Copies of this chain bind each other. A is one copy, B any other.
């Protein structure tokens, strides 16, 4: 910085002004400084600038590495954080690196707010964290109102699934459960509600899970059911689970959607591939990301300067999902499952 200042013939303070993009430098000087910086291949040290300023304008994000939908969310977060003049610092969660450890590094970075994608921490822990700084839990609802929440209306999503299948004439509709994953309880609840509407249908919850593997296992349980009692349709916890289910069911000689209709959840990229063509409930990653940044930025930018603690989070933001009908669902046949 010193060198750039010298080369441009100005003070260090002026260089700072130019790089922060604030008012206080003439157009001519601004260009001279930028030119000098370019020649010296200089770029401001983010560590130092964050240290110097009262605000770090930094948002920490924990995410599961390799998780497809988290990838989609990150993309949206990057875009909107950038637009709101915030920087993102990522902290990955892996089987050997816990979410708590990931959060710890974010705190040490002095992030102003923390974004947790699909958090698996206990509510009490989240509340303790939220007492220190603004926290928003994405995808996973957190009761109590201390922790900000941005999520899809999971229950409504499953209602869409079930109503769609009902409308196609299905009466035996199973749900492939998601266990303790973020959002699973709500989806299960949505399934139950929809099944109890008139005319009420017999509920059937099969243990499922988050990945293709668990979908495949659920399919084996499904195939173990006698053809006459077998559900003619299945709503899965998510797309990957649905895809694993379809794979195994097809390998067993059944047809999808001829013998069994399947609906997923998320609308991951793969679900839209022509050879997969999964009917699913779309979560809008783009909007989720936008809302996360908006709620956090609102809290941070409005709060009394350097005193974010005390600003309460806005009410949970719940985004309505949308049914995307593709080729994995079809009208129920009279005789139920064939073969």
> A residues touching B (Cβ–Cβ < 8 Å)?
41, 43-48, 50-51, 56, 64-72, 74-75, 78-79, 87, 89-92, 94-97, 104-105, 107-110, 132, 211-213, 216, 219, 244, 247-248, 250-251, 269-270, 273-276
Contact = CB atoms under 8 A, between A and B. Distances in A.
Contact of A244 (B47, B68, B74, B273): B273
Contact of A97 (B68, B78, B274): B78
Nearest to A73: B65
A241 to B, nearest CB: 12
A96 B110 CA distance: 27
Contact of A213 (B78, B97, B273): B273
18 contacts: A43-B104, A43-B108, A44-B108, A45-B110, A46-B109, A47-B47, A51-B51, A66-B67, A68-B68, A74-B94, A75-B92, A78-B92, A89-B89, A212-B273, A216-B274, A219-B275, A247-B276, A250-B251
Number of copies: 2
A92 B71 CA distance: 9
Contacts of A91: 90
Given A43-B108, A44-B108, A51-B51, 16 more contacts: A43-B104, A43-B107, A47-B50, A65-B74, A66-B69, A66-B72, A74-B94, A75-B92, A78-B97, A90-B90, A90-B91, A213-B273, A216-B274, A247-B247, A247-B275, A250-B251
Given A43-B107, A250-B250, A273-B213, A75 B65 contact: yes
Contact of A71 (B67, B90, B247): B67
Contacts of A213: 273-274
Nearest to A79: B96
A213 B276 CA distance: 9
Q: Which 4 A-B pairs have the closest CB atoms?
A: A66-B71, A65-B71, A75-B94, A216-B275
A249 B132 CA distance: 55
Nearest to A65: B71
Contacts of A273: 212-213, 216, 244
A95 B75 contact: yes
A260 to B, nearest CB: 15
